[in-house]
Each structure stands twice: as structure tokens, then as C-alpha cells.
Structure 1
Amino acid sequence: MPVYKLDDKEISFPRPELARDDGLLAIGGDLSVERLVLAYSHGIFPWYAEGEPILWWCPKERYIIRPENIHISHSMKKFMRKHEVKVELNWDFSHTMHKCREKRVHTKEGTWITTDMEKAYAELASHGLALSVEAYIDGELAGGLYGVNLGRCFFGESMYSDMENGSKIALIGLAQILNENGYLLIDCQFHTDHLESMGGESVSYRDYMELVKEGTGTK
């Protein structure tokens, strides 16, 4: 299937169902607030390397965590009883996103968090359309995560840990806050064993979009 070239001036995407089997849908465009909101509200997200054109993806199978289904293992419950843990939202969005970038840049896979993406998501956050989560263990900043926040849907982007269980505490705390506020999903994009252990599940794009439409009030 073809990969569609986006018009830099027109804020639009081809139908997500036209994505290739690997999820790649389109190339080009920009990272404006308007385009990012349109993308995420249709299950589309940017994922590319520094210096490359923007690539837009929409996998046909999605991996999500329903906030009410977050799984806290016995060992994690024991850890949380033993330590003072606390979660904050938007303590410093740009700092948390940059930490996620730093933690991945030297890994085998590298990072998709480019300089332009840091600027674009900080702009989303300034409009209340993205948020960061910071986890503290015994008073020390232990880890965090960030993502796009639309309606009652949270689209997770990346997480990091500076201490044992830092990102897990952030994810658990986020899920509990989202559940209390009637959120329908945490979009994890792709399966990992870690996310599966935290209560993740695979859903079809169709079922995924039913949740996104309900959560964002879009058609």
C-alpha cells in the first residue's frame, strides 16, 4: 500500500484504514497543535528520527490500559507500603519529556523524541492538551511519563525511571487519577511485556476508535 504525502498547508490525513500493515500511513506535514490534535483523535501519531521527515503511524491493532484495570503486583504493593510514594501532574512537562529523551537516546533502539517534538509537545501542554506525570519515592524524583491528553483519553508517549519502580509508580498513579475522573483509556500504542504486566490489552483499531470517539466526543 502507498505512503501518503501530506500537504504542508492543509491540516488533514488520509483515512487511517489505509495505513500499511506495519502501521505507516503518511509522511510530511508539520507538528502544529491543530495537526497533532487531529492525528491523535484518529489514533495517528508521529514517530521518526532526528533529521528525517515526519512519519505518521496508525497501527491496525492497538495496545491500551483501561485505567480501572491497572494491575498492581503483590511485590509492587509491598514496595509501596515500604516507601513513601507520591505522584504529581505537570510538575515540569519539558523536564519530564527531556528526561524520557535522554534515557532512550543511547539505547540500541534510539529515540523518536526529536528537538522539534519537544517543542511541539510543550506547546500542546501549554494549551492543556498534554500532561506529564512525576513520581517521587521517599521525597526523591524517581521517574515520570508524558503524553497527549484529549477529553477522557490519555495517549501515552514515553516514560523514564531514575530509581527502581519510578516509571511504574508514575503509571499506577496516573491510572488511578484518570479512573477517578472517568477516563476510558491509556493508549500505549504497542505491546510490551512490561505494559502487559501492568494490565494492558490488545484491541482492534475499530474498538480502539469507539473508545476514542466516546472519550473525545468526536465522530
Structure 2
Amino acid sequence: MIPWLDSSLQFPPLSLALQEPNGLLAAGGDLSPQRVLSAYVSGIFPWFMPGEPILWWSPNPRMVLFPAELHIPKSLDKVLRNRSYEVRFDTAFAEVMQGCAAPRDGEPATWISDDVCASYGALHRAGWAHSAECWIDGELAGGLYGIAIGKMFYGESMFARKADASKIAFVHLVRYLEQQGFQLIDCQMRTDHLARFGAREIFRDEFIERLSALITEPHQVGPWSYLHRVKA
């Protein structure tokens, strides 16, 4: 049995996380901005499907991307240089979340419910959550969102309505984070897609050690100003 959270914002020790399913730590609680931030600074994130209670995870190993290790495939590098697009940050956060929440590949729903949108929307208004957006022909074509604490960025979800749109936004975000002194991007679980960009797994102990140092670093809490245009 996993612990059931009450009104306290405290989470169980990470040592209690299950090995199967990997990282499941607790259930219940709520998605208040305070609890979500408390989770992130502890190396924990929420993920659950419709009809399930809120589930809290801290997998071992943990998929991360060190910004300096970003790998850009040659085909995408050509797109970045030769396609017309515009990348902005924090100009359409709610729309990015809606794009991430939309069903994919015939699936009925994603985990990004109205309650999740409300929680991360509140975090965005408070200056903790950010969106990276790719605009093509004046329309939002793709993007991603996540949480920034100190010099640590926690990636959450991405979507694309046009080919390569989310990848374009992702590359610009990683480059921006490196320029701003961010040293680690949390990718949560392993995917081949992120591995192609240089993301890799590290043990949870190392992840927590790095996280604990990075979240104490100062950073700009509030909207990020970023605009990059390419005209082919």
C-alpha cells in the first residue's frame, strides 16, 4: 500500500517509492500550487489518468537533460535555420496547456485535466510556470510548458500541430536555459524522443543532490521575455 496524503504538504520519504510501478510514492492530496511546488522541490511530480486519484511519483533512475549536452539532429538543424517561424515565451500559456491536453493518436484523453490546467495556470500567474511557443504563419503550431525553480527546470508536456513545431520550441528553450545558467532539465521518464536530444538517465540520489543545490539559486520569478524570428 502507498501512503495517502492528507492536508499536510509533506510527502513520504523517497525511499518508500515503489520499484514497480517505478517511482510511485503516494496518492491523494490536491493540486494546490503550494503542494505542487512542494513536490517539485522534493523531486516529486504528479501524474495520473482520468478517474484515478492524484498519484505522485519519483522514479529511479530519472531522465534528465543537461542543457550543455543538447544534441540537435542534422535534419532539425536545417529546419531551425531554413523554415519561417517565430518562438515566444509566456505569451500563450493557457493555449499551450490546451494543446498538450488535446487527445493524441486516437486516445480519448490525456492526464492534463481542467484541474491540472487550473493548477499550472495559477503557477504561471505566480511566475513559476512557463511556456515556450512556436508560431508558424501567425498561428500557435506547437510548444511545451514546465516549472522553473532556482536554476532547475522541470519539463511537463509538449504538443505539435505542425511538423517539428514542438522541437523548435524545445531547442530554443534549452538554449535559453543554458544562457540563463540553468544546469538541469527534468524530463521525468525515459523516452526515445528525448534521448535523441541528448537526455539521459541518472540515479535518483544524484538527481536529488543536484536538485537540492539548484533550487536555491536565484532566478527571475515572473514572465520570461523571449522572441526569435526566422524568415526563410
* Residues 16-165 of structure 1: pairs in structure 2 closer than 5 A: 16-21=14-19, 22-104=22-104, 106-107=106-107, 110-137=109-136, 139-165=138-164
Residues 65 and 199 in structure 1, CA contact (< 8 A), matched pair in contact too: yes
d(CA) in 1 for partners of 2:95, 2:137 = 20
The change in CA–CA distance for 1:157 and 1:18 in structure 2 (over 3 A counts) is same
CA deviation string 1:126-147 (max 9, x = no partner): 1111111101345543210011
Long gaps (5+) in structure 1: none
Residues 103 and 160 in structure 1, CA contact (< 8 A), matched pair in contact too: no
Deviation of 1:112 (Å) = 1.1
CA deviation string 1:56-114 (max 9, x = no partner): 11101100111121111111111222213332111111110011001448427x41111
d(CA) in 2 for partners of 1:17, 1:184 = 25
d(CA) in 2 for partners of 1:103, 1:80 = 27
Larger helix share, 1 or 2 = 1
d(CA) in 2 for partners of 1:91, 1:32 = 23
Q: Which residue of 1 aligns with 2:191?
A: 192
TM superposition score normalised by structure 2: 0.88
- Tell me which of 3, 12, 15 is aligned to 1:14: 12
Long gaps (5+) in structure 2: 218-232
Q: Which residue of 1 aligns with 2:221?
A: none
d(CA) in 2 for partners of 1:6, 1:30 = 9
- SS of the residue corresponding to residue 135 of structure 2 reads strand
- The AA in structure 2 aligned to 1:136 is W
The change in CA–CA distance for 1:31 and 1:105 in structure 2 (over 3 A counts) is farther
Q: Which residue of 2 aligns with 1:207?
A: 206
Identity value in percent:
41
Deviation of 1:212 (Å) = 0.9
Q: Which residue of 2 aligns with 1:5?
A: 4
d(CA) in 2 for partners of 1:73, 1:89 = 23
Residues 49 and 111 in structure 1, CA contact (< 8 A), matched pair in contact too: yes
- The AA in structure 1 aligned to 2:126 is H
Q: Which residue of 1 aligns with 2:176?
A: 177
TM superposition score normalised by structure 1: 0.93
Residues 31 and 117 in structure 1, CA contact (< 8 A), matched pair in contact too: yes
